[in-house]
Structure 1
């Protein structure tokens, strides 16, 4: 799996090892929480103001208009709430190189629920032409992009209300990931130079914005015009957001005409140690430690694994085994396309939910 264009940056944004060290994807920011005012009034900070002023030359050298930088940073203040949220992110470690037990069922009930399925099915029909066009261009099924849209923001219901410029400036000044957040601050200013307004530049406290919850730098790389109006608007335009998600997954290595995975039944006497991966992922190792080594579908069948879902990957397709609710429960054989979903958000719970929701909305 290639280095994430969205999530590796966002994972670094929210903590050293947040979702990557967990298996549970974070809950999307809800409207009430997003709209809450800072509980500590921002204080005048001469050092913060000096730091921001010191970024002016770099921003201009990278193409930001001087008047844009001056206007959008005038009166900018430090946001202590962003730092509290950043430092409050969960972490996690491996135990002797192996993660603990996994319980996906309750997460699935709240994310692949009837509300998500029903709304997804409605949009799947309403946006069928755009979704088909995206798939023709990228190879990414519309149902998969739609499911990411649903899980990221509730199909656009909650996208975050933090001012991106203030959040990025605060996180850059705080310093733990200064290079990342300085680059995202400059990218946000470039979006304003492109005609988007400061009011549109809202998102999560960590800077994920719009329907797909992209970082601004990812927008600059990958945002796509889904309806042919000459503008890629991921904040209010569902067609553009879905086209952009599809573009992301294509860049992450999505293989056309290949399922993300399929349900399977594991024999009672199956030797799991025989398929344990000897590799340690350099990114979100706890997530990847739950996945087996790669075998072809034919090789899995030869080990007694029975395909229990549809459509099944071709016999020659490589897949990894995951048992999200432990031995004796439904298992899944996961293709490289599951890896592309993990690239979007490195959480097995999240990636499983995307795959299962996509299957449900297309039925």
Structure 2
């Protein structure tokens, strides 16, 4: 959803002092941007300025590590070992996803493992507070205002709880989608009529495959650096060390 130009008038800030005022103004203009007032009130009932989110946003140091250091910090060997087991245990699901989207198991399992340890830890920050805090924060206000509107759409359609908890930047579920990516690429992998990125591994993995397809994934092509599908992996994360890790771990899991 494109934000209304009127949103530019909202006063961003770099500390908590103006957050309550910003929330009041956002709640006033949100209905004019297509969000039901009752959804806005429900979504913001427990929203507060999230200092942990700001701290995380200012301190993303692991992406400055060498490739070897990054793999060690992320538990690369454990991801490969568990990923191979998951590939066997989830063979039917992964095969159906590959038929539908053309994405093989390896990179999906590498992403799943790196993002949340295969769903073991999806974050403990209040999602709506995290996204609202970053929408208010001056560093990337426009980008996260768009994410906040997407989060409100998810609340409205019943795909995000107002009490949901996730990662520090508002990433949701087993493969850590930002709200707008759930809107754009979320897939109902288990056929229940909803996109539940938290409780449904089928939804999370199908959505991840759909994201990669949407970023240019070509069935059957390679996904290592320099090969056609590495471009889609680059769409997943801007850090080159992260991109290389997905490709490397994926190949190890796929036995290549």
| Residues 313-339 of structure 1: CA deviation (Å, up to 9, x unaligned) | xxxxxxxxxxxxxxxxxxxx6212112
Q: Going by fraction, where is helix more abundant, 1 or 2?
A: 2
Judge conservation of contact 1:152–1:211 (CA < 8 Å) in 2. Answer: yes
Matched, 1:349 2:241: yes
Specify which of 19, 24, 30 is matched with residue 53 of structure 1. Answer: 24
Judge conservation of contact 2:50–2:130 (CA < 8 Å) in 1. Answer: yes
Matched, 1:259 2:222: yes
Partner residue of 1:227?
Answer: 190
Correspondence list, 1:332-343, <5 A = 334-343=226-235
The CA RMSD over aligned residues, in Å, is: 2.5
Per the alignment, in what secondary structure is the counterpart of residue 209 of structure 1?
coil
Partner residue of 1:198?
Answer: 162
Matched, 1:121 2:84: yes
Judge conservation of contact 2:127–2:163 (CA < 8 Å) in 1. Answer: no
Judge conservation of contact 1:342–1:348 (CA < 8 Å) in 2. Answer: yes
Partner residue of 2:254?
Answer: 362
| Residues 212-231 of structure 1: CA deviation (Å, up to 9, x unaligned) | 11110110111001122222
Specify which of 147, 151, 162 is matched with residue 184 of structure 1. Answer: 147
Rg larger for: 1
Partner residue of 1:244?
Answer: 207
Number of aligned residue pairs: give it: 240
Specify which of 58, 64, 69 is matched with residue 87 of structure 1. Answer: 58
- Alpha-carbon distance change, 90 to 107 in structure 1, aligned in 2, over 3 angstroms: closer
> Partners in 2 of 1:233 and 1:197 — Cα distance?
10
Correspondence list, 1:1-363, <5 A = 45=17, 47-74=18-45, 76-90=47-61, 103-111=66-74, 113-195=76-158, 196-200=160-164, 202-261=165-224, 334-363=226-255
Q: Going by fraction, where is strand more abundant, 1 or 2?
A: 1
- Alpha-carbon distance change, 354 to 190 in structure 1, aligned in 2, over 3 angstroms: same
Give the drift of 1:235: 0.8
| Residues 125-167 of structure 1: CA deviation (Å, up to 9, x unaligned) | 2221121111111111122212111111111111111112112
* Structure 1 residues without counterparts, runs of 5 or longer: 1-41, 94-101, 262-332
TM-score of the pair, normalised by structure 2: 0.83
> Partners in 2 of 1:77 and 1:106 — Cα distance?
35
Give the drift of 1:242: 0.6
Per the alignment, in what secondary structure is the counterpart of residue 147 of structure 1?
helix
